[in-house]
Structure 1
Amino acid sequence: MPNRRLLLVVNPNASRASQSLGAAVAALVADGFAVDIRQCGGRDDVRALITSEGPAAEAIVIGGGDGTVSGALSGLIEVGLPVGILPLGTANDLARTLGIPVDPVEAAAVIAGGHLRKIDVGGVNDIDFLNVASIGLAVEITDRLDPDLKRRLGPLSYAAAALSTLGSAEHFAATIACGDNRTEVSAYQITIGNGVHYGGGVKVAT
């Protein structure tokens, strides 16, 4: 009989954790999984948790948003197990890119069904990323996001934060190199995209 244990690493502060986690876990249990639920702290704590507890599981499930998955990434790469996502955050852009339903119960059904696909991992300044990496305006907008506003407005909170940031935004000079091509730009933001969705469900690639 195959190992049916899932290590579920949950961000308790994710926007929809209190509302949707219970039903998603119940769906996984109903499908025959033993779900070991652990709350995650900072990046170092998450990595240690995943590397110590992950090898005994069939797969690791991250319950949270894009930031939670990003924080867990180094541990996930080290362990090398299949990874499932329960999208409990505000934007859930990586889940959208991967075609995972944003409804956590429906996402649990994807995990239970064993639907696997590969995804590239990017790297910037020795830090791995899955969906996007940005400098400039997007980083300032993220820093200004109000947690309570995220819970109340969802993806619209990004638009509210953008409006409050635009007045103080500053452009910068950069060189973009791709193969033998180099382009000099003056920009407010540069984003390296590995995913399709970005900034709260906006489709930025095909």
Structure 2
Amino acid sequence: MSGIVILNPYSNRWKAGKRVPEIIDALEELSLDCEVVQTQRPGHAIELAKQASREGRDPIIAAGGDGTIGEVINGLHHANPEGVLGPLGIIPFGTANDLVVNLGLPLDIVGSLQAVSGRATRRIDLGQVNDWVFDNNSAVGLEPVVTLYNIRMTWLRGVIRYLVAALRAIAAKPEYEMRIRWDDGEYEGLVSLVSVGNCPVTGGMFKMAPDADPTDGLLTFVYGHAPTHWKMLSLLPRTISGEYIHDPAIHQHHTRQLEITCSPGTPIQADGEIRAEDATTIRYRVLPARLDLYTP
């Protein structure tokens, strides 16, 4: 059966849909027999990927930003919840393209499809937060508050949008009473953020989980409490390099599972998309060696 390109035409500020002719030309040049199907609504990529997997379509390619890739992976997971997913190709059309950048995959259409044509693959872990599977990063507390501001600031573009959103979130100073339990530890007290990484970089520039490795069979998480606006602000530039984890207020660990109880409720973000806005119980687990990606 022919393959499918699941394209979110709204990615990159509605520019992705205009690039369908380029995708078709590259598919034909590389003799890849694929139908290009555009998503029509949020969640549609989940349905398309689930159906494509069950029909045995090959290859399956996600074209869009990190949110679109996440939906496609969740569709594959729905079709095969216990097995290895993919192989999956990616044509990145997002603002940050975090997964692609973290893994060093091609950023252009032709290079992305050449990777698919070459059929070489790389296997990585996935993470799961409650019932949602993520490939790059998830968080509760400050980081999804940043995501909420980022979603609303449609007048800015690129990495500067993430930076301004971070400054606005710091001004709001979210704070939670949490109990955090992981494989070999536990913490109870005030928390500003918990960031859980399968890969190191999120938001285009922030090394929130600097020691994360998507092939080690573990999730890397960071938690901490910044009691003042100034403390939060002083940590922000150090998140870009990842050096913030050396601050005494910040703690990084590796684990297979993580359980958080929280008051008040917190938003949850996964791969840049809000998955809950008022969660009081959050459960993470690693899905080791679960996704195959086409790679150069």
- Is the pair's TM-score, using the shorter chain for normalization, greater than 0.5? yes
Equivalent residues of 1:21, 1:88 under 8 A apart: no
Give the equivalent residue in structure 2 for 1:174: 178
Runs of 5+ consecutive residues of structure 2 not aligned to the other structure: 212-296
Corresponding residue SS for 1:121? strand
Give the equivalent residue in structure 2 for 1:35: 34
Equivalent residues of 1:28, 1:112 under 8 A apart: no
Equivalent residues of 2:5, 2:37 under 8 A apart: yes
Aligned CA RMSD, in angstroms, stands at 2.2
Residue 105 of structure 1 and its aligned partner are, at CA, apart by 2.9
Equivalent residues of 1:171, 1:187 under 8 A apart: yes
Q: How does 1:1-206 map to 2 (within 5 A)?
A: 5-15=2-12, 16-18=15-17, 20-40=19-39, 41-43=41-43, 45-54=44-53, 55-77=55-77, 78=79, 80-145=85-150, 146=152, 148-149=154-155, 153-203=157-207, 204-206=209-211
- Deviations along 1:74-130, whole A, 9 cap, x unmatched? 211225431111110001111112221223332222222222111112112122111
Equivalent residues of 1:176, 1:182 under 8 A apart: yes
Equivalent residues of 1:8, 1:60 under 8 A apart: yes
Residue 20 of structure 1 and its aligned partner are, at CA, apart by 4.8
Q: State the one-letter code of the partner of 1:58.
A: D
Mean Cα deviation higher: 160-169 or 141-150: 141-150
Equivalenced residue count is 200
Equivalent residues of 1:20, 1:104 under 8 A apart: no
Corresponding residue SS for 2:22? helix
Equivalent residues of 1:88, 1:104 under 8 A apart: no
Q: Distance in 2 between matches of 1:13 and 1:188?
A: 33
- Deviations along 1:6-39, whole A, 9 cap, x unmatched? 2111111100514655434422321001221111
Alignment identity in percent?
28
Mean Cα deviation higher: 22-31 or 118-127: 22-31
From the superposition, tell whether residues 73 and 185 of structure 1 become closer, same or farther in structure 2 (CA, over 3 Å). Answer: farther
Corresponding residue SS for 2:99? helix
From the superposition, tell whether residues 147 and 163 of structure 1 become closer, same or farther in structure 2 (CA, over 3 Å). Answer: closer
Residue 53 of structure 1 and its aligned partner are, at CA, apart by 3.3
- Deviations along 1:140-160, whole A, 9 cap, x unmatched? 22122246445xx31221012
Equivalent residues of 1:197, 1:205 under 8 A apart: yes
- Deviations along 1:22-74, whole A, 9 cap, x unmatched? 4344223210012211112222x333222323424212111111111112222
Corresponding residue SS for 1:82? strand
Q: Distance in 2 between matches of 1:147 and 1:6?
A: 36
Equivalent residues of 2:49, 2:73 under 8 A apart: no
From the superposition, tell whether residues 164 and 70 of structure 1 become closer, same or farther in structure 2 (CA, over 3 Å). Answer: same
Larger of the two Rg values belongs to structure: 2
Mean Cα deviation higher: 131-140 or 98-107: 98-107
TM-score, length-scaled by structure 2: 0.61
Equivalent residues of 1:65, 1:88 under 8 A apart: yes
Runs of 5+ consecutive residues of structure 1 not aligned to the other structure: none
Equivalent residues of 1:172, 1:186 under 8 A apart: yes
